[in-house]
Amino acid sequence: RPRFWWANIQANLVDVAVGVGIVGLMYLPNIGFTIQTVLAILYAIWLIVIKPLSKRWQIALQAGCAILVGTISLMAVSYDWPVSAVVFLMFLLGYGAARHFLHSYEEEQTTLLSFVWGLVFAELGWLAYYWNFSYLRTLAGGIPQITIVLLLISFCGGKVYQSWKKHKKIIFSEIVGPVFLAVATTLVMLLAFNSVVI
């Protein structure tokens, strides 16, 4: 029924991101048959093994897979797209991943928090559109820096939310490890493995 379409679309944004992302990567002109076969096998693993999982850490893994595949694919195919399309799709990716994660906690403010996370993704997506740097270029166009940064901040955001949800406040000792990892990795990427001098 049409009245349930919007709810179904929101509930399946993570699956759509992975599916469309895999197809986008297969569509790249420099992808050979071997990598296309590997991508098809990875998509089968997503559908058969990862997608049906339902524990909280598994749902976080699903959201992480959507961020990984979605941003790699988007940055690989969008080099000549309008910036507004990239920003909008990054917003949808962030919104969908956050909503998927928060839904497992039965959060009352899921929509608001998901919109905020989508806005963070949109802003970083705008920056990445103009400053796109990739690693391991032999793998489907490479792994963009923005993919790693978004995975790290999403991991930190998840840990902060889990700490707040569990204790009704943020416990520093629970988040210091993920935050240090995210900051250190981002600084190393920007300062040591970047072709741009800062």
Does residue 77 surpass a pLDDT of 60? yes
Copy the structure tokens of residue 113. 């928090």
Q: Which contacts of 27-32 are long-range, i.e. CB under 8 A and separated by 24 or more positions?
A: 27/77, 28/76, 28/77, 28/140, 28/141, 30/141, 31/140
Better-scored residue on pLDDT, 46 or 194: 46
Task: Give the percent of the chain with pLDDT over 90.
Answer: 63
Task: Give the percent of the chain with pLDDT over 70.
Answer: 95
Amino acid letter, 127: L
**pLDDT for the residue numbered 134:** 76
DSSP codes of every residue in 112-158: HHHHHHHHHHHHHHHHHHHS--EE-TTTTT-EEHHHHHHHHHHHHHH
Q: Which contacts of 79-88 are long-range, i.e. CB under 8 A and separated by 24 or more positions?
A: 79/132, 83/126, 83/129, 83/130, 86/125, 86/126, 86/129, 87/122, 87/125, 87/126, 87/129, 88/122
The pTM assigned to this predicted structure is 0.90
CA distance 24 to 140: 10
Amino acid letter, 85: A
